[in-house]
Structure 1
């Protein structure tokens, strides 16, 4: 063996680091692992920001909804209070109206009684005359006074003429009698009736013709 062979020294092997290996594997223009991590972190930050923004919007809407609910509740309380006052006012109005009606009825009754006492006074004066005196004129005058009072109260006498048709609403048939009046018509008024303001308060009692004699 020659000296050159004995003296030849082997060159040390080169140890490649991880970064150099990673750098050497990446093709030109392609993102490195660090770039991908940075992009991932950026996307994550954007999503977190978006979520925070949505959460803030939801919180604002919740606050607005709560404010509207409080406003609606206040409005409902106000309406309920107004309704209670309106009901109380209406009840008071009904009481006042009823009291006025009672007062008007009392005054109307007092006025009617005061006018009827005039009729009574006339009857008393007629009876105070001598027994031989003719009281017919006094009675006729009293009847005129009484009829005037009834007319002022919008009261009319129901007294159909013989031969008129029977009105079931205003006439009460007592019996059928022989008469020269047409069959089924009023033969005679047995007792007059009365109506007030178009309302029958007492039907006239009549007899009805049973045909020609």
Structure 2
């Protein structure tokens, strides 16, 4: 009878062991958590390392691009300086050629004056002087220079005429009576105003 009672009851130690087996080992759980955490940290580190590497590549590319742009800027600046020097030199050459051309035409006027003076003292040099004046006026015209010589009775233009004095004249009051000295203008710009007298009341 006691044997039958024993059959119905398990050993308490065996029951405790079975309970421990069912609950699991806390040490194993901790190791699993640490392993999972280590894997997560390792994965994060790998991702962070990849991001750092990408940023480093971008920084290197940006630095290289900046160096290229700086070099291009230096070349452009040097090219512009060279262009300015060439333009200035070309302008000076053109100015020198223009001056040389003008001087060459003025020497023709001087030659005419020399020939007029080489005539005999009693010779009439007026025709020669008139011819020289025509040549000189032609040279001035080629340089876009015109003579300011208002006619008597013409209205006074304060920008082109300089009034020297008022005189009694048959011309209408306040108009040009006579030209004391002719003036000059070049390309519509007055170089020297004509000096005139103005008619006053009789």
The TM-score, its normalising length taken from structure 2, stands at 0.77
In structure 1, distance between residues paired with 2:32 and 2:132: 117
Mapped partners of 1:154, 1:36: distance in 2: 110
Residue 153 (structure 1) aligned with residue 128 (structure 2): no
Map 1:172-187 to 2 at 5 A: 172-187=162-177
Q: Distance in 2 between matches of 1:170 and 1:19?
A: 132
Alignment map for 1:159-174 (pairs within 5 Å):
159-174=149-164
Hey, what does 1:95 align to over in structure 2? 85
- Residue 191 (1) aligns with residue 181 (2): yes
What aligned pairs does 1:28-177 form with structure 2 within 5 A after superposition?
A: 32=23, 34=25, 38=29, 42=32, 45-177=35-167
Structure 2: state its 5+ residue gaps. Answer: 1-9
Aligned-pair Cα RMSD in Å: 3.2
Q: How many residues align?
A: 193
The SS at the match of 1:207 is strand
Q: Structure 1: where are the runs of 5+ without partners?
A: 1-13, 25-30
After alignment, is 178-187 or 197-206 more displaced? Answer: 178-187
**Structure (1/2) with the larger helix percentage:** 2
Match of 2:4 in 1: none
Over 3 Å counting, the alpha-carbon distance change for 1:112 and 1:49 in structure 2 is same
Q: Deviations over 1:118-157 (max 9, x none)?
A: 1111111112222332222111111111111111111111
Cα separation, 2, equivalents of 1:22 and 1:195: 126
My pick for the range that moved more, 93-102 or 159-168, is: 159-168
Aligned partner of 2:19 in structure 1 is 23
CA distance in 2 between counterparts of 1:37 and 1:154 reads 109
- How far apart are 1:163 and its partner, in Å? 3.4
Q: TM-score w.r.t. structure 1 length? A: 0.73
Moved more, 174-183 or 90-99: 174-183
Cα 1:78–1:175, aligned 2, differ >3 Å: closer, same or farther?
farther
Larger of the two Rg values belongs to structure: 1
Q: Cα deviation per residue 1:185-212 (whole Å; 9 max; x = unaligned)?
A: 43332222222223222222223344x4
Question: How much does 1:58 deviate?
Answer: 2.4
